[in-house]
Amino acid sequence: MQPPALAVVGWSGSGKTTLLTRLVPELRQRGLRVGVVKHSSDAHPLHRRGSDTARYTESGATFVAFANPAGVQLSFPEPPEAVLSLLARFADSVDLVLVEGWKHGPLPKLEVWREGLGPLLAATRHDVLAVVGDSPVPEGVKCFTRDDVPAIADFLQQCLRDGVLRATEGP
């Protein structure tokens, strides 16, 4: 079973990472176990070229882990779409997974929007539940300011209670 998940989307520079680094502690303070996935549309190596872990990946390992005193990083040679099935392995250890990015993925979305960076996705996408931004958004779209992290956390907790943080078919 896949854990509840939400994609936090927006154009580059809109403030997604900043919001997440403020939202995770707020949700944890409320007792939620939160996982975070960074999704990138740019292809870049997960392991430094020529490193032992890159060589293990190239050899066809089912997974590669890098462990040191700071923690463990685990990678799988799977396409980005496989993230949902991989997350199912952690369903018992998290209450919510926040995915930074993945605009075109099947998850419900919280859009972080800053005027001038790109068009507002919520204007044309039914899977955007709310917008975080300081500019006016179309009427009928739930909107939060960037500094209202407690209200955003309240909203996410309500979404969890309502069961709306599940993957859907198509955008």
Q: Tokens 């507002």 correspond to what residue?
A: 120
Query: Could you list the residue range(s) of the whole structural domain that residue 101 is in?
Result: 5-44+78-162
Question: How far is the CA of 39 from the CAs of 59, 101, 163, 169, in angstroms?
Answer: 24, 5, 23, 19
Structural domain contains residue 62: no
Q: How many domains does the chain have?
A: 1
Structural domain contains residue 124: yes
C-beta of residue 103 within 8 angstroms of C-beta of residue 121 = yes
Structural domain contains residue 148: yes
Which value, in Å, is the radius of gyration of the alpha carbons in the chain? 17
pLDDT tens for each residue of 47-65: 778 888 888 888 888 888 8
Structural domain contains residue 132: yes
Q: pLDDT over 70 for what percent of the chain?
A: 94
Structural domain contains residue 71: no
pLDDT tens for each residue of 140-155: 889 999 999 999 999 9
Domain CATH number, residue 157: 3.40.50.300
Structural domain contains residue 55: no
- Strand 71-75 relative to strand 64-68: parallel, antiparallel, unpaired? antiparallel
Residue 125 CB contacts under 8 Å (≥ 6 apart), including other chains: 109, 171
Map residue 24 onto helix, strand or coil: helix
Query: Could you give the CA distance from residue 20 to residue 6 in angstroms, rounded to a whole number?
Result: 11
Helix axes 16-29, 149-162, angle to 10 degrees: 70
Structural domain contains residue 68: no
